[in-house]
Amino acid sequence: MAIVVMKFGGTSVGSIERINRVASHVAREVRAGNQVAVVVSAMSGETNRLIGLTQEAASLHDAKEYDTVVATGEQVTCGLLAMNLQQYGIRARSWLGWQIPIRTVGLHSAARIDSIGTDGLMADLENGVVTVIPGFQGVSLDGRVTTLGRGGSDTSAVAVAAALNAERCDIYTDVDGVYTTDPRIESKARKIDRISYEEMLELASQGAKVLQTRSVQLAKVHNVKLKVLSSFIDPENCTEDDLAGTLVCDEGDIVEQLVVSGIAYSRDEAKITLRHVPDKPGIAAEIFGNLADAGVNVDMIVQNTSEDGKTTDLTFTVPEAEADRAVTSLRDAARKGEFGEIQADKNVSKISIVGTGMRSHSGVARKMFETLAAKGINILVISTSEIKVSVLIESEYTELAVRALHSAYELDKV
Ligand code: ASP
Ligand code: MG
Transcribe 50-107 into DSSP letters.
Answer: HHHHHHHH-SS--HHHHHHHHTHHHHHHHHHHHHHHHHTT--EEE--TTTTTEEEES-
Sign of the alpha-carbon dihedral angle for 355, 258, 7, 53: positive
257, part of any domain: no
Q: Please tell me whether residues 185 and 77 are part of one structural domain.
A: yes
Q: Please tell me whether residues 368 and 321 are part of one structural domain.
A: yes
Choose among 220, 224, 170, 214: nearest CA to 12.
170
Q: Domain count for the chain, please give it.
A: 2
β-pair partners for 350:
266, 392
- pLDDT exceeds cutoff 80 at 338: no
Please report which confidence band the pLDDT of residue 337 belongs to, taking 50, 70 and 90 as the band edges. Answer: confident
Minimum-distance ligand to the CA of 148? Answer: 1
Q: Please tell me whether residues 193 and 272 are part of one structural domain.
A: no
Residues whose CB is less than 8 angstroms from the CB of residue 366 and which lie 6 or more positions away in sequence, other chains included: none
Q: Please tell me whether residues 182 and 55 are part of one structural domain.
A: yes
The reported pLDDT for the residue numbered 330 is 92
- Cβ(132)–Cβ(94) below 8 Å: yes
- Cβ(211)–Cβ(264) below 8 Å: no
Tell which of 201, 220, 252 closes a domain: 252
Q: Please tell me whether residues 48 and 107 are part of one structural domain.
A: yes
> Which of 40-49, 100-109, 235-244 shows the lowest mean pLDDT across its residues?
235-244
Minimum-distance ligand to the CA of 174? Answer: 2
- For the chain, the farthest-separated pair of C-alpha atoms sits apart, in whole angstroms, at 79
- pLDDT exceeds cutoff 90 at 256: no
State the average pLDDT over residues 331-344.
83
**CA 348/CA 392 separation, integer angstroms:** 7
Q: What is the CATH number of the domain that holds 386?
A: 3.30.2130.10
Higher pLDDT, 322 or 305: 322
In the three-class reduction of DSSP (H, G, I as helix; E, B as strand; rest coil), residue 327 is classed as: helix
- pLDDT exceeds cutoff 90 at 283: no
- Cβ(317)–Cβ(270) below 8 Å: yes
- Cβ(124)–Cβ(103) below 8 Å: no
- pLDDT exceeds cutoff 90 at 71: yes
The reported pLDDT for the residue numbered 76 is 98
**CA 382/CA 391 separation, integer angstroms:** 5
The reported pLDDT for the residue numbered 322 is 94
366, part of any domain: yes
Choose among 286, 357, 295: nearest CA to 321.
295
Q: How far is the CA of 408 from the centre of ligand 2 (A)?
A: 31
Element (H, E) at 318: strand 311-319
Q: How many CB atoms neighbour CB 223 within 10 A? A: 10
Please report which confidence band the pLDDT of residue 78 belongs to, taking 50, 70 and 90 as the band edges. Answer: very high
Q: Please tell me whether residues 136 and 207 are part of one structural domain.
A: yes
The reported pLDDT for the residue numbered 400 is 98
Q: How far is the CA of 89 from the centre of ligand 1 (A)?
A: 29
Tell which of 252, 286, 321 closes a domain: 252
**CA 18/CA 12 separation, integer angstroms:** 6
**CA 382/CA 392 separation, integer angstroms:** 6
Q: How far is the CA of 155 from the centre of ligand 2 (A)?
A: 10
Q: How far is the CA of 41 from the centre of ligand 1 (A)?
A: 6
In the three-class reduction of DSSP (H, G, I as helix; E, B as strand; rest coil), residue 230 is classed as: strand
The reported pLDDT for the residue numbered 209 is 83
Minimum-distance ligand to the CA of 155? Answer: 1
> Which of 170-174, 221-225, 250-254, 270-274 shows the lowest mean pLDDT across its residues?
250-254
Minimum-distance ligand to the CA of 209? Answer: 2
Distance in angstroms between the alpha carbons of the first and the last residue of the chain: 36
Q: Please tell me whether residues 62 and 181 are part of one structural domain.
A: yes
The reported pLDDT for the residue numbered 255 is 83
The reported pLDDT for the residue numbered 11 is 96
Relative to the CA of 150, which ligand 1 atom is closest?
A: 9
pLDDT over 70, % of the chain: 100
| AA letter at 394 | E
State the average pLDDT over residues 24-41.
97
Tell which of 198, 228, 252 closes a domain: 252
Q: How far is the CA of 392 from the centre of ligand 2 (A)?
A: 26
Please report which confidence band the pLDDT of residue 414 belongs to, taking 50, 70 and 90 as the band edges. Answer: low
**CA 203/CA 181 separation, integer angstroms:** 9
Q: Phi/psi class of residue 213: alpha, beta or left (left: φ > 0; alpha: ψ in -120 to 50)?
A: alpha
The reported pLDDT for the residue numbered 325 is 94
Relative to the CA of 9, which ligand 1 atom is closest?
A: 7
Q: Please tell me whether residues 60 and 164 are part of one structural domain.
A: yes
Query: Which residues are near ligand 1 (CB < 6 Å)?
Result: 10, 41-42, 47, 73, 135-136, 150-154
**CA 351/CA 372 separation, integer angstroms:** 11
Q: Please tell me whether residues 77 and 107 are part of one structural domain.
A: yes
Q: Please choose from 8, 13, 67, 136 the residue to mutate so as to test ligand 1's pocket, defined by most ligand atoms within 8 A of CB.
A: 136
The reported pLDDT for the residue numbered 291 is 94
Q: Please tell me whether residues 293 and 146 are part of one structural domain.
A: no
pLDDT digits (tens, 9 = 90+) for 120-130: 999 999 999 99
The reported pLDDT for the residue numbered 205 is 85
Neighbours of ion ligand 2 (CB under 5 A): 9, 151
Q: What is the CATH number of the domain that holds 188?
A: 3.40.1160.10
What are the angstrom distances between the C-alpha of 189 and each of 372, 396, 403?
19, 20, 9
pLDDT digits (tens, 9 = 90+) for 113-168: 999 999 999 999 999 999 999 999 999 999 999 999 999 999 999 999 999 999 99
Q: Please tell me whether residues 227 and 288 are part of one structural domain.
A: no
413, part of any domain: no
Relative to the CA of 154, which ligand 1 atom is closest?
A: 8
Structural domain boundaries, residue 325? 263-408
The most confident of the ranges 72-76, 291-295, 381-385 is: 72-76
In the three-class reduction of DSSP (H, G, I as helix; E, B as strand; rest coil), residue 19 is classed as: helix
